[in-house]
Amino acid sequence: MKRTIVIGGGASGLISAIFASSKTNEVIILERNGTCGKKILATGGGKCNYWNANQDLKYYHSNHERELKKIITKQNQQEVLNFFQSLGIIPKIKNGYYYPFSNQAVTIQNALILECQKRNITIKNHSYVKKIEKSQKKFIVTTTEEVFFADSVILATGSKAAPKTGSDGNGYLLAKSLGHTLIEPLPALVQIETKGSYLKEWAGIRTDAILTWYENGQRKMQETGELQLTAYGISGICSMNLSRYISKGIKNGKKEKIKINFLPFLSYETKEQYLAWLESQNRIVQKRTIQELLEAILNYKLVRIILKETSIPCNKNFQQLSLCQKEDLITHLIEWSVEITGTKSFMDAQVCSGGIPVTEINPYTMESKKQKGLYLIGELLDVDGSCGGYNLGFAWMSGMLAGKSCKGEKNDTN
């Protein structure tokens, strides 16, 4: 009888244990928390966005992105979907985002733990791993309470993001002790901190917007979606998708800036076109002040901030404004510039960029190239996804591959 020890009972750890289990392979999960899958409960606003129908590689990020196409394959995607179907999970699909039909993340957590129990997988909660050693062909795994021997070990400890769920970076230390290197982890999918005297005034506003990210004055990337304006800066999916790049830029001493377009429903290319549109709105809606005209389009608090920043009296009519005032107003409506001072910490981050390089594992099995019998999966690796179920998607696929390999099952693409 062989034995596989899975260190970490999160998303990737649970699925790897399930796929590793067999009549000839005993599986033990060592979980530091009081229960497995704690971080799953926080995903998708508590609803668990566990998958996305669009698995384009552009939604996965790494310092070695070419390796990802060997992991995120059509075959692996279909196997993951088949797996969740086998658990009885009925998906509720909205714009390609998969949620359990119950709209409760606990549905996914319970299904995975129940499957582990059905397969006689041993789960040892409150088990913090201090050390892993290799002696001949066996691994010696030392926790705060016990010592375990295993033929294979799956490291599924997560990253440094959201440490309150149990991710404290211990997995990086364990991997390094077994010969791996580390690309410095930085917060990703995290809120962005900015400067501005108006921040307290706009806190609590939610609005759709287009964000354009600039680094050292160069236009880099654009994201569209709901934006949350906060007392520290900005949040929301569109800003969080930019945060991985901003974290890295700030770390490297670069100047980071975002311009906000509060009129994302228009697809004009020049300020003159936006100005002409606003003039047409003024003709349609007559006898309105500029404040009343804008409040028919935007959040009233945001309108008052924009008028204050442009020094335009709120009781003036649009036609009373000078051309200079009109142009300044358009600039603030479609190119509101925010200077970025940083991002929130690992405490608030959903995931990390950086981690163990994917070039140090076999992408078809997730086995370490440094240590035979060791597997590295999920957030521990230098892979992070955009918002929308991609980080869980990578957890499922990488965990499945590692589990199958531990059991002795070969991937068809290997």
pLDDT tens per residue across all 414 residues of the chain: 999 999 999 999 999 999 999 999 999 999 999 999 999 998 988 999 999 999 999 999 999 999 999 999 999 999 999 999 999 999 999 999 999 999 999 999 999 999 999 999 999 999 999 999 999 889 999 999 999 999 999 999 999 999 988 889 999 999 999 999 999 999 999 999 999 999 999 999 999 999 999 999 999 999 999 999 999 999 999 999 999 999 999 999 999 999 999 999 999 999 999 999 999 999 999 889 999 999 999 999 999 999 999 999 999 999 999 999 999 999 999 999 999 999 999 999 999 999 999 999 999 999 999 999 999 999 999 999 999 999 999 999 999 999 999 998 776 555
pLDDT at 338: 96
Q: Do 158 and 11 share a structural domain?
A: yes
Tell me which of 316, 343, 370 is where a domain ends.
343
Tokens, residue 201: 């005034």
Domain match, 133 and 105 both? yes
Q: Check residue 414 and give its pLDDT.
A: 52
Q: Which residue has the tokens 């179907």?
A: 85
The structure's pTM equals: 0.94
* Residue 12, domain member (yes or no): yes
72 and 51 together in one domain: yes
Paired strand residues for 228: 206, 235
* pLDDT value at residue 44: 86
Q: How far apart are CA 360 and CA 368, in angstroms?
A: 6
Nearest to 374 by CA among 7, 2, 55, 1: 7
| Parent domain of 308 | 192-343
Residues 73 and 141 in one domain: yes
Same domain, 165 and 21: yes
Domain presence at residue 88: yes
Is residue 148 within 8 A of residue 128, CB to CB? The reply is no
Candidates 322, 364, 352, 406; CA nearest to 153 is 406
Q: Is 392 domain-assigned?
A: yes
Which amino acid is located at 300 in the chain?
Y
**Interacting residues of 50 by C-beta distance below 8 A, sequence separation 6+:** 43, 44, 84, 98, 99, 100, 108, 389, 392, 393, 396
> For residue 412, what pLDDT is reported?
56
The residues, ordered by sequence, that sit 6+ positions from 139 with a Cβ below 8 Å of its Cβ are 5, 132, 133, 149, 150, 151, 152, 153, 373, 374
Residue in 39, 4, 20, 27 with CA at minimum distance from that of residue 123:
27
Q: Are residues 166 and 278 in the same domain?
A: no
Q: How many domains does the chain have?
A: 2
In a domain, 316, yes or no: yes
Question: For residue 412, is it within any domain?
Answer: no
User: Cα separation of 187 and 2, whole Å?
Assistant: 38
Q: Tokens 């994302």 belong to which residue? A: 264
Helix intervals (H) in 231-370: 237-251, 271-284, 290-295, 300-310, 323-334
Residue 118 lies in a domain: yes
**Helix 74-86 with 390-407: angle, nearest 10 deg:** 90
Residues 236, 377 within the same domain: no
Residue 409's pLDDT is 78
DSSP 113: H
Q: What is the CB-side half-sphere exposure of residue 344 using CA atoms within 13 A?
A: 21
45 and 174: one domain?
A: yes
Residue 235 and residue 116 share a domain: no
186 assigned to some structural domain: no
Instruction: Please tell me what DSSP assigns to residue 409.
Output: P
Scanning 21-93, the segments in alpha helix (DSSP H) are 74-86
CATH at 122: 3.50.50.60
Determine phi and psi for 205, rounding to 5 degrees: -80, 135
330 & 365 share domain: no
Other Cβ atoms less than 10 A from the Cβ of 286: the count is 8
For residue 364, being part of any structural domain is answered with yes
**Helices within 133-219 (DSSP H only):** 170-177, 199-202
Distances 7 to 128, 287, 380 between C-alpha atoms, Å: 9, 68, 11
pLDDT at 411: 67
Give the residues across from 207 on adjacent strands.
227
pLDDT of residue 287: 86
pLDDT of amino acid 231: 97
Dihedral over alpha carbons 11, 384, 210, 247 (to 10 degrees) = 120
Same domain, 244 and 327: yes
Is 270 found in the same domain as 223? yes
Residue keyed to tokens 């971080």 = 39
Measure the CA–CA gap between 293 and 314, rounded to whole angstroms.
10
Identify the H or E element spanning 404. Answer: helix 390-407
